[in-house]
Structure 1
Amino acid sequence: MEMIGFVGMGVMGLPMAKNMIQKCGLPVMGYDVAPRQMDAFRAAGGIAAASPEELYSRCDVILQILPTHAIIRGSVEQAIRHGRPGNVIVDLSSTAPHIVQELYQQARDAGMSLLDAPVSGGNPMAIAGTLAIMVGGDKEAFDKVKPVLACMGKPVYTGGTASGSVTKLVNNLIGGAILTAYAEGYAFAAKAGIDLQTTFEATRTGFLAGPCYENKIPKIIRRDYEPGARVAVHRKDILNAKAYAHKLGVDLPMTDVVLRVMDWMNDNGHIDEDQAALVKYYEEKMDVQVGLSAEEADSRA
């Protein structure tokens, strides 16, 4: 490997790229459509590409974390078009398994490798470099880039192509149910009139304990919906899972509930907020406000 390329530096991508710069020991070239993100990447020591084509043509390992299937597909196809045989493309996005399989074959036909390597852990773990990284594709390509991926978290080889994407669907089916339950539970607590912070302190060391609970419940209590992970991205995974479940011929009844809540978020203009904002669905249904914003807390002090 001579140079790492990183495409897509949003809420997750920028801290991941920064960890790559600090830890991988190779030059890291990056590209994002947002000038502000490019400035931050450059300030961290990265090499700013003038265009995506420059990055694809100069880097032999290309990492990407992008928001929609159209953008994901376009990026991989450009990487194939402008790259060289032997290159490894690593898609860190949450991508539908059938799209991964199509793009994998295109990369293979061009003498390149495509790994599907979705991540989990949100912005806090992206910053800390402790993301779960679920990697499907050719084992030889995984072995080649494993030290690179380890700069961002813990890469685990899940098997053949698209297996990483399916593993991420499992992760986000469960995660969606948990996050929706958090919202329902704390709306129920607010409606019952008990103190939310006390509820958190009383439950955080029990069976519910874990990094997700520690991250999301304080955000619910503070009405902090600044996205560490957007509902829009999670909903995309839920839709992907529903489509794959249809292919498998199975029902996902709990996921149907999660999708109903996320659809409400989409219809009511909250889709780009943090998953903690799922509580807004229950606020409407239960006719209650959950928590206090910093401004509200200050005004009552």
Structure 2
Amino acid sequence: MGYPMAQNISKFFRLKVYNRTKNKTIGLENFNIKICESIDQVCKDCDFLITMLPSDNEVLDITPKLIQYMKKNSVVIDMSSTKVNTAKKIYTELKNKNINFLDAPVSGGPEGAKKATLAIMVGGDQNIFEKSTELLKTMGEPTWVGLNGSGQVAKLCNQIIVGINIGAVAEAIILCEKSGVDPKKLIKALKGGFADSLVLRNHGIRMIEKDFIPRGKNSTHLKDMVNILEQANKNDLDLPISKIIKLMFENLCKSGFSNDDHSSLYNEILKNSGAHSQN
């Protein structure tokens, strides 16, 4: 997702980028984007720095380097999906060094990144959000949710809704298929009604076509479900449906399907339903 996000930013701002895996930046130079060789080079004289990393560990590992190389009063925007406590910890560490921080995870997948229509959920100081809004709008629709950590809370809530919705769509597609009804016509019939959704229209088609090439990986959604239940536990909450969805993603990952698209939850539900896959 970072590649098309960088392309969109470069249409409006001077941009330089760094990736540990350099071949992932190939071609960005064609968009007048400077390819950096190191973290210190990408941080040098930078007003805004955006990070988008796979997990909490990478975000935490890079923080001391940001403290070392980012100038005072600059803004670090982390668009990774992390634990709430990770966002709060980094906010405090950077703030103590006069560096501003926003947690700003996104939803919308690779297509949203390409079209610059990502939902961007932002936590942090409101004045820093307002200072960063023009930049964020190059990638999608930013919303200030609240103080530091609120963006990550919003992303967890997003993943509850998406995960449960994928499960509901899978059950509906399976019931439709086993009843001898064309599920593509079902999706058309539901358009505009209360059951209509992007998940139905996008993930539903993937299920019907058995197209599980990853856009959002099972391993990533499992990480999010683990974080959701951890955050719920800290608030003395029981989320029974989220527990079921988490277990299903866990089963898929244990069965060797970590890198399949999360719409392949269809296969786990199909297996548990007693039906057999049509692959």
State the TM-score, normalized to the length of structure 1.
0.88
Residue number among 245, 256, 265 corresponding to 1:258 in the alignment = 245
Residue number in structure 2 paired with 1:104: 91
Contact kept, 8 Å, 1:131 with 1:153, in 2: the verdict is yes
Whole-Å separation in 2 of the counterparts to 1:31 and 1:66: 12
Q: Which has the larger displacement, 89-98 or 37-46? A: 37-46
- Measured at CA, do residues 262 and 21 of structure 1 come closer, stay the same or move farther in structure 2, by a change above 3 Å? same
Whole-Å separation in 2 of the counterparts to 1:229 and 1:66: 14
Contact kept, 8 Å, 1:56 with 1:78, in 2: the verdict is no
- AA of the residue aligned to 1:287: A
Contact kept, 8 Å, 2:167 with 2:269, in 1: the verdict is no
Question: Deviation of residue 266 (structure 1)?
Answer: 0.9
1:48-69 per-residue CA deviation (whole Å, 9 max, x = no partner) reads: 1111221122422100111111
Q: Which has the larger displacement, 189-198 or 249-258? A: 189-198
SS in structure 2 of the partner of residue 207 of structure 1: coil
Residue number in structure 2 paired with 1:4: none
Unaligned runs of 5+ in 1: 1-11, 293-301
SS in structure 2 of the partner of residue 32 of structure 1: coil
1:253-281 per-residue CA deviation (whole Å, 9 max, x = no partner) reads: 01011001100111011122212111111
Output aligned runs, 1:97-246, within 5 Å. 97-246=84-233
Contact kept, 8 Å, 1:107 with 1:113, in 2: the verdict is yes
Whole-Å separation in 2 of the counterparts to 1:45 and 1:268: 43
Residue number in structure 1 paired with 2:256: 269
Residue number among 17, 31, 40 corresponding to 1:53 in the alignment = 40
SS in structure 2 of the partner of residue 278 of structure 1: helix
Whole-Å separation in 2 of the counterparts to 1:183 and 1:209: 14
Whole-Å separation in 2 of the counterparts to 1:151 and 1:113: 20
- AA of the residue aligned to 1:17: A
Whole-Å separation in 2 of the counterparts to 1:39 and 1:279: 35
Whole-Å separation in 1 of the counterparts to 2:162 and 2:84: 19
1:189-241 per-residue CA deviation (whole Å, 9 max, x = no partner) reads: 22333322222222234222232322111111111112222222222111111
Residue number among 57, 62, 69 corresponding to 1:70 in the alignment = 57
Contact kept, 8 Å, 1:76 with 1:89, in 2: the verdict is no
SS in structure 1 of the partner of residue 27 of structure 2: helix
1:288 aligns with 2:251: no
1:160-202 per-residue CA deviation (whole Å, 9 max, x = no partner) reads: 1001111111111111110111122212322333322222222
1:13 aligns with 2:2: yes
Question: Deviation of residue 114 (structure 1)?
Answer: 0.8
- Measured at CA, do residues 164 and 240 of structure 1 come closer, stay the same or move farther in structure 2, by a change above 3 Å? same
Question: Deviation of residue 47 (structure 1)?
Answer: 1.0
Provide the aligned length of Structure 1 versus Structure 2. Answer: 278
SS in structure 1 of the partner of residue 225 of structure 2: helix
Whole-Å separation in 2 of the counterparts to 1:210 and 1:108: 39
Contact kept, 8 Å, 2:169 with 2:199, in 1: the verdict is no
1:94 aligns with 2:81: yes
SS in structure 1 of the partner of residue 98 of structure 2: coil
- AA of the residue aligned to 1:289: S
Whole-Å separation in 1 of the counterparts to 2:165 and 2:225: 13
